[in-house]
Structure 1
């Protein structure tokens, strides 16, 4: 990269990116960056579906189903939280591209090592490391996507990309069925993890062509490089482009201190910080109440061990259809009404499911149908949590903000959740599992109420208009 400048520049780079029509170049960004959520979905689902198989004699690992669904899941999430914070800080400091390449490599190596697990401690270690890489992906990828996608498409694309997690989940669920039933108990689960590595390598090959964020470049002293890069993008997109509307004047800096980032989030945007925490905690608890223990629930209450993948594939498809069909409404109806509606609506549906389950009115099929309805609504809401925190804070803090909220919210729901919920399901008492559902539902509803009061109207707006960069001398959105 060229030498760093630290002067004051006025640039139209953000406006030039926002006025671009949707093109083949944008699809390359979506495929190269967004498909990582498919990997995450594949990872989590494979482990959930394999929990009963891994606990069987002859699996090659001396581990219980509760340890897979509880301890290993919690370690995966703990790794994701720490990875998000570590790589998030590096992403804001050293750029998006360097880190979204590094984090994918970390994921690939850790997943491959998981496939060679020979003892519980090895399995736990590399589940943690896999989460470490995935957590870094969330920070690096969401920040890059939002900075490269035009503002009028940002909400829909971001939500659908985050929702693509469930394509991986559906694929993982269906893949585990033949692997569990047609292969030896100590071989099938290893191949399942190996498939994740193959998909990750394919994504890495595409990702090499994704450029650095021009927004990151001009703020961090690479203004000429940012202008040149946007010019190349405009040539690839082609067509008659309208004049860019708006400019931003920046005092360039090589880096932004961690203390200033933290001060910005807590002192300058306290309401937005509360909002981000609420959304992440809410969705983490609701999802952990269902997804981390779903195989355990089917096994404990309905004696279904080897075909759980079929049930979860239905849930996963419902999860993906939610963002796919509702995503455009976040750009048209608006962020606040859609986020609050999806959070509160999914929480209410889960409360209804908890009551039906406690009354013994559900079997494996009808419970899966209820979960599908809940998560159709919840998935769009959960995806919007990532969208929200990636667009309501200044450019210099974007990756770190995503990492912070992901880590805090997911730690609360994703570490405590699996440990508490796995224990509740393990008792075999319907009322205990219904309690797990209720906890997740109530916290999700509370987050939706917070959105009603503190939500930010960010639809159709440029990132610099929603939150001016810390280094901005002026932002002109009407020029």
Structure 2
């Protein structure tokens, strides 16, 4: 492979964003969605395998409920570290290199998990599995947003993030088989389950070889000739399938290439140029992370401890839960591009928060059976899933191209660190105490956070639907004569 061309300090003009945004939907876009978007399927598979198989893992490795919660926190802590490290590299070295490296990290770590002999090795493997997934979020989210036409960006982003729950359904279905003593020893079954993720990641690795580097990343890093060639190739593929392309509209943008963006520039952009967007991203990411991870990572423990559900039957309860979460972004996603981001994000966070508070009270009062509890979560997370996916969309759109991966990584890391790592450990401790009312307080905390996020979105939300990424946030490499205020 030829060495990258050095960054050019000479200004140049390009219409690459307009050319990409005016393309009709094609097989190329499906390749982007499938090859990159399958990351969320992997993440859903991972957390559901551990959630559904928590009882079997606990029995094999002799874990307490608190240690089960800590293993979930180890995975999320790894995701935080991986997002920050690999996100930083993604903006420096390019999207394609990193979405190849991160899936390799995941592949190795998830297979190693299957051979963990004790809780400490298991937690270490979960940490590195999370690191691979965290890096994927930064590299993949930024690439998808940069390649999908503006008029479909919100819909695609929500649907892709929602496929987490297709992976969750896969994990739940697999657990039904792998925990059935008539089919396989449950102590061996949970170990085999991790091989499913490893096999899937190998297929992903092969598919990604057919994707090129992001033209938007190339153009901001002083490699306009490479970017132009890639866009021309994409246009030729789309035209061969869909016929003559629409004309390119809009003025060219004038850029000055750069090799990288310093952490100082990132900080200045976040806290001086876009402080309201930074606060909004932090609130949306951390609140959904707490609500999701607190409930989902420990739901198997709720079912076994308070409803007497046997380990091998947990998957049946996870399937409708996953179905509701998958349906939310798929059915509501288009509204984020038509009704608008601000209205839909506010609505989905608020409805999820109100319903979560009511369900927490009903659980504490003993009014719900196991299936009724599951039905309630299915409805709640129909809305919460769309809200959570929109949080990732928001932080991806909020900031300039040159720091997009780092921005996604930073807010994913902070949100997950604050909401995701604390949530499972807190709920594991509350469940171990055995008091329904103490657990209710945890649910009420999650509900209050979701309602606070809804209010924050209504106050600080901005319109990005149908707009080019460069119009939502001006590139840092934009020539100084063209730079305008945020």
TM-score (norm 1): 0.97
CA distance in 2, matches of 1:405, 1:209: 30
Match in the other structure for 2:192:
191
Cα distance, 1:2 vs structure 2: 3.9
Residue 313 (structure 1) aligns with = 319
- What is the aligned partner in structure 1 of residue 383 from structure 2? 377
Point out the more displaced range, 155-164 or 255-264: 255-264
Q: Which residue number corresponds to residue 13 of structure 1?
A: 16
Aligned partner of 2:75 in structure 1 is: 76
Deviations 1:30-67 (A, max 9, x none): 011001100000000100111111122xx2x3433431
Whole-angstrom CA distance in 2 between matches of 1:270 and 1:208: 38
Over the aligned positions, Cα root-mean-square deviation in angstroms equals 1.2
Name 1:47's counterpart in structure 2.
50
Following TM superposition, by how much is the alpha carbon of 1:135 offset from its aligned partner in structure 2, in angstroms? 0.3
Q: In the alignment, what sits opposite 1:333?
A: 339
**Cα offset for 1:243?**
2.1
Give the aligned partner of residue 206 of structure 2.
Answer: 205
CA distance in 1, matches of 2:115, 2:64: 18
Match of 1:66 in 2: 66
Q: CA deviation at 1:476?
A: 10
CA-CA distance at 1:279 after TM superposition: 0.2
Question: 1:275 is matched with which residue?
Answer: 280
Residue in 2 aligned with 1:130?
Answer: 129
CA distance in 2, matches of 1:96, 1:389: 17
Structure 1 range deviating more: 284-293 or 400-409: 284-293
How far apart, CA to CA, are the structure 1 residues paired with 2:65 and 2:117? 16
Distance across 2 between alignment mates of 1:475 and 1:341: 37
Which residue pairs with 1:451 in the alignment?
457
Q: CA deviation at 1:118?
A: 0.8
Deviation of 1:469 after TM superposition, in Å, equals 0.2
For 1:373-407, what per-residue CA distance to the aligned partner results, in whole angstroms no more than 9, with x for missing partners?
00000000000000001011000110000001000
Distance 1:312 1:6 in 2: 54
Alignment of 1:19-34 (within 5 A): 19-34=22-37
Q: Which residue of 1 aligns with 2:301?
A: 296
Stretches of structure 1 lacking an aligned partner (at least 5 in a row): none
- SS of 1:208's equivalent in the other structure is helix
Q: Give secondary structure in 1 for the equivalent of 2:210.
A: coil
Q: Distance in 2 between matches of 1:382 and 1:305?
A: 30
For 1:89, the equivalent position in structure 2 comes to 88
Moved more, 237-246 or 375-384: 237-246
Equivalent position of 1:139 in the other structure: 138
Asked if residue 412 in structure 1 is aligned to residue 418 in structure 2, the reply is yes
Unaligned ranges ≥5, structure 2: none
The residue matched to 2:187 in structure 1 has which SS?
Answer: coil
- Deviation string 1:170-221 (CA, Å, 9 cap, x unpaired) is 1101101110112113310111001110111111111111111100001101
Q: Distance in 2 between matches of 1:475 and 1:176?
A: 56
CA contact (8 A) 2:169 2:323 kept: yes
Structure 1 Cα separation of the partners of residues 153 and 193 of structure 2: 33
SS across alignment from 2:253? strand
- Residue 245 of structure 2 is matched in structure 1 by 241
8 Å contact from structure 2 (residues 116, 122) kept in 1: yes
Please identify, of 377-386 and 416-425, the stretch whose mean Cα deviation from structure 2 is larger. 416-425
The number of equivalent residue pairs is: 473
**Residue-by-residue CA offset, 1:246-305 (whole Å, 9 max, x unaligned):** 221101111111111121111110000000000001101111231011000001110113
Find the residue that maps to 2:476 and give its secondary structure. coil
Residues 1:350 and 2:356 are matched in the alignment = yes
Partner SS for 2:231: helix
Distance 1:398 1:7, change over 3 A: same
Distance 1:323 1:13, change over 3 A: same
Q: Are the equivalent residues in 2 in contact too, given 1:285–1:439 (CA < 8 A)?
A: no
How many angstroms apart in 2 are the aligned matches of 1:304 and 1:466? 49
1:105 equivalent in structure 2: 104
Describe the SS at the equivalent of 2:246.
coil
Alignment-derived partner of residue 115 in structure 2: 116
Q: Deviations over 1:92-125 (max 9, x none)?
A: 0111000000000000000010011111111010
1:229 is matched with which residue?
230
Q: Is the 8 A contact 1:53 1:185 kept in 2?
A: yes
Q: Contact 1:51 / 1:65 at 8 angstroms: preserved in 2?
A: no
Write the distance in 1 (CA, Å) between the matches of 2:443 and 2:293: 9
The Cα offsets for residues 114-166 of structure 1, whole Å up to 9 and x where unpaired, read as 01111111101000000011000000000000000000000000000001000
Measure the CA separation in 1 of the matches of 2:151 and 2:92: 28
Residue number in structure 2 paired with 1:38: 41
- What is the match of residue 365 of structure 1? 371
What displacement does 1:471 show?
1.1
Taking the aligned partners of 2:459 and 2:279, their CA distance within structure 1 comes to 11
What is the rounded CA distance, in whole Å, between the counterparts of 1:285 and 1:211 in structure 2? 35
